[in-house]
């Protein structure tokens, strides 16, 4: 029974980090979650929230600080929810991310974790300026318009005028757009009153092409907002309507191009690609090539394999594997992404890769009926993981090797727990796609028993 009360002071030692970057210590076997605390630190904590299974608290005094604690590079750190680990040295971040993955497997995986090889996290030389896309709510602030990032676990917006993990071109473009929006007196959305027009500002750019794509998310068409878009010096200017006040998705309707082309171009190794505003692509362009190298390594291709790429987005993984494969097929529910994938293949003269729009299971059954049996399956699902019916299909299939790519250690471990009955887990390779945050990407190599 939890005997702690709110505002009570306790002294604890932080043992590890949680999935949101908070420090976790224990008080009489009760887990205590402390934002801002680091492993190895001894801290005095004031209890702020109490439940039967855990408590949360805030640091009131340091008794002992971690040698890995550093000064954050961003003036908004601790206020906005974009980064959680800027107070931890980058070398230590890589260690802790590997620990987060191991902890998820210890918690959700019922097999013997001692038989799984957890490799060291692959990091970056420079952990700043890597984000190629930003989706920001817009709000009024006195006589000007601003945008920001929500505080962690909150709907409170923290206004920002610079972000050190974003591509510098995004920062510059955001400032120009906000100035124009202010000059044109564009009406912005008020989520509390559920009225107004401009909801989000979405900016994407790739440093290897210097092309910028801007998309306004509006509640309805608006002449002023469209005039601002047409006045921007960017490769791609667009808007999309999302009038549902309860929607958690940013894009919910068709993307309308008003200036330039609908897509912008980028480069991935030797591959050129183009991407639409609402198509998925990794946020860290530089680290994506390292991720794909690890996927190729896990796939162990010899040139004779049929490869299936599920949740394929714009088909970039499949395209990267195509030169070493007999045939590649990709499936994704996002039709816009599949259009990009088809164009991607044509642009690079890749003739052994085809892409299909729709739910995964019906496509898998149709492929099998027509004689396409994959030797290697690559899955890169959303954070919620693989659907159970797809897991069941994989288990009953003759697929020799599965390469599971995940940005959520918890759902990864849960899914692997199902698959390990039929597949041996060869290794787990963490990759730091999101420096300064608590997020970590993984590549898992599985081979049929």
pLDDT of residue 399: 95
pLDDT of residue 156: 86
Biggest CA pair distance of the chain: 67
Which stretch, 44-58, 384-398, 429-443, has highest mean pLDDT?
A: 429-443
Q: How many CB atoms are closer than 10 A to CB 289?
A: 16
Strand spans (E) along 313-422? 327-332, 353-357, 376-379, 401-406
Grade residue 113 by pLDDT with cuts at 50, 70 and 90.
Answer: very high
Token pair in block for residue 392? 């069941």
Burial of 299 per CB tally in 10 Å (0-12, 13-18, 19+): buried
Catalytic residues: 407
Q: What are phi and psi of 268, to 5 degrees?
A: -130, 100
Q: Is the pLDDT of residue 1 over 60?
A: no
Grade residue 2 by pLDDT with cuts at 50, 70 and 90.
Answer: low
Token pair in block for residue 268? 């991935």
* CATH for the stretch 98-125+283-448: 3.40.50.150
pLDDT of residue 152: 80
pLDDT for 382-400, tens place per residue?
A: 999 999 999 999 999 989 9
245-269 per-residue burial string, b: 16 or more CB within 10 A, e: under 16: eeeeebbeeebbbbbbebbbbbebe
Cα angle 24, 25, 26; round to 5: 135
| Mean pLDDT across the chain | 95
Q: Is the pLDDT of residue 141 over 60?
A: yes
Grade residue 271 by pLDDT with cuts at 50, 70 and 90.
Answer: very high
Which single residue is written with the structure tokens 């693989």? 386
pLDDT of residue 153: 74
| H-type alpha helices, 83-222 | 90-108, 168-183
Q: Domain ranges for the chain, please list them.
A: 9-64, 98-125+283-448, 133-267
Pick the CATH number of 9-64 from 3.40.50.261, 1.10.274.10, 3.90.79.10, 2.40.50.140: 2.40.50.140
Burial of 50 per CB tally in 10 Å (0-12, 13-18, 19+): middle
> Closest by alpha carbon to 342, among 401, 294, 291, 279?
279
pLDDT for 345-383, tens place per residue?
A: 999 999 999 999 999 999 999 999 999 999 999 999 999
* CA dist 60 → 3, 35, 42, 64, 387 (Å): 20, 12, 11, 12, 44
Look at 57-61, 138-142, 220-224 and tell me which has the smallest mean pLDDT: 138-142
Which single residue is written with the structure tokens 């739910």? 359
pLDDT for 280-322, tens place per residue?
A: 899 999 999 999 999 999 999 999 999 999 999 999 999 999 9
CATH 2.40.50.1070 fits 133-267, yes or no: yes
> Closest by alpha carbon to 166, among 139, 137, 205?
205
% pLDDT > 90, the chain:
89
CA end-to-end distance (rounded Å), the chain:
44
pLDDT of residue 367: 94
Q: Is the pLDDT of residue 40 over 80?
A: yes
Token pair in block for residue 270? 């030797």
For the segment 314-333, the average pLDDT, to the nearest whole number, is 96
On the question of a common fold for 98-125+283-448 and 133-267, the answer reads no
For the segment 219-227, the average pLDDT, to the nearest whole number, is 97
């Amino acid at each position: 029974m939890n005997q702690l009360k709110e505002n009570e002071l306790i002294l604890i030692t932080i043992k590890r980090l949680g999935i949101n970057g908070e420090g976790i210590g224990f008080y009489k076997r009760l887990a205590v979650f402390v934002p801002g605390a680091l492993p190895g630190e001894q801290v005095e904590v004031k209890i702020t929230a109490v439940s039967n299974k855990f408590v949360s608290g805030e640091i009131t005094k340091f008794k002992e600080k971690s040698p890995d604690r550093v000064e954050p590079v961003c003036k908004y750190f601790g206020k906005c929810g974009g980064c959680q680990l800027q107070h931890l040295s980058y070398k230590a971040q890589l260690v802790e991310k590997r620990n987060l993955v191991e902890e998820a497997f210890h918690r959700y995986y019922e097999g013997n974790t001692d038989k799984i090889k957890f490799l060291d996290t692959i990091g970056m030389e420079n952990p700043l300026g890597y984000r190629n896309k930003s989706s920001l709510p817009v709000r009024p602030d006195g006589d000007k318009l601003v945008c920001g990032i929500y505080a962690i676990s909150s709907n409170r917006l923290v206004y920002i005028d610079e972000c050190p993990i974003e591509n510098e071109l995004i920062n510059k473009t955001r400032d120009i757009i906000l100035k124009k929006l202010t000059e044109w007196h564009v009406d912005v959305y008020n989520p509390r009153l559920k009225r107004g027009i401009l909801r989000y500002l979405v900016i994407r750019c790739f440093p290897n092409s210097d092309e910028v794509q801007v998309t306004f998310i509006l509640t309805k068409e608006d002449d002023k907002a469209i005039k601002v878009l047409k006045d921007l010096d960017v490769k791609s200017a667009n808007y999309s309507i999302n009038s549902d006040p309860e929607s958690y998705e940013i894009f919910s309707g068709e993307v309308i191009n008003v200036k330039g082309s609908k897509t912008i171009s980028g480069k991935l190794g030797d591959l050129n690609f183009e991407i639409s505003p609402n198509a998925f692509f990794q946020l860290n362009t530089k680290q994506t090539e390292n991720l794909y190298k690890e996927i190729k390594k896990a796939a162990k291709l010899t040139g004779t394999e049929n490869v299936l790429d599920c949740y394929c987005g714009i088909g970039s993984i499949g395209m990267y594997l195509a030169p070493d494969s007999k045939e590649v097929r990709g499936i994704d529910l996002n039709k816009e992404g599949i259009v990009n994938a088809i164009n991607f293949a044509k642009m690079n003269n890749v003739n052994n890769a085809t892409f299909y729009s729709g739910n995964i299971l019906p496509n898998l059954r149709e492929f099998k009926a027509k004689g396409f049996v994959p030797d290697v399956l690559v899955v890169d699902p959303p954070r919620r993981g693989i659907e159970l019916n797809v897991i069941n299909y994989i288990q009953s299939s003759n697929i020799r090797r599965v390469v599971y790519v995940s940005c959520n250690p918890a759902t990864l471990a849960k899914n692997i727990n199902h698959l390990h009955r039929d597949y041996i887990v060869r290794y787990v390779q963490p990759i730091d796609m999101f420096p300064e945050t608590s997020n970590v990407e993984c590549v898992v190599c599985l081979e049929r028993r």
